[in-house]
């Protein structure tokens, strides 16, 4: 079951990436009017999705997913303007 959950986490990660970078956008992000704030939220989601996709085996439970989401919640990008 843990392996199956890890594979499911990897599939969910691919869907997250597709919804942010593809044509079918996430309405929750689209409703954020401030472009900088929206970009930070999208970047955090992409960081989480990448971790879930690259290391799907370490996401063997929902606790692992929520723990990773909490860790990425405080991440701030370095702006290179």
Would you say residue 48 lies in a domain?
A: yes
Element (H, E) at 80: none
User: How many other C-beta atoms lie within 10 A of the C-beta of residue 33?
Assistant: 7
Would you say residue 79 lies in a domain?
A: no
Q: What is the pTM of this model?
A: 0.83
Q: What pLDDT digit, counting tens, does each position of 8-44 carry?
A: 898 999 999 999 988 777 788 888 999 899 999 999 9
| Block residue for tokens 């930070």 | 40
What contacts 24, CB < 8 A, 6 or more positions away? 18
Answer whether 16's CB lies under 8 Å from 44's CB.
Answer: no
Model confidence at 80, pLDDT cuts 50, 70, 90, reads low
Q: What pLDDT digit, counting tens, does each position of 36-57 carry?
A: 999 999 999 999 999 999 988 8
Would you say residue 46 lies in a domain?
A: yes
Which pLDDT score is estimated for 24? 76
Would you say residue 78 lies in a domain?
A: no
Would you say residue 11 lies in a domain?
A: yes
Would you say residue 81 lies in a domain?
A: no
- Identify the domain containing residue 39 by its residue range: 2-73
Would you say residue 65 lies in a domain?
A: yes
Domains of the chain: total: 1
């Amino acid at each position: 079951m843990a392996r199956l959950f890890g594979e499911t986490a990897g599939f969910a990660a691919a869907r997250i990436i597709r919804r942010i970078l593809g044509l079918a956008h996430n309405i929750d992000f689209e409703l954020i009017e401030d472009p900088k704030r929206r970009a930070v939220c999208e970047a955090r989601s992409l960081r989480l999705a990448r971790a879930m996709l690259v290391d799907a085996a370490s996401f063997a439970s929902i606790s692992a997913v929520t723990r990773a989401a909490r860790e990425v919640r405080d991440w701030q990008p370095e702006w290179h303007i």
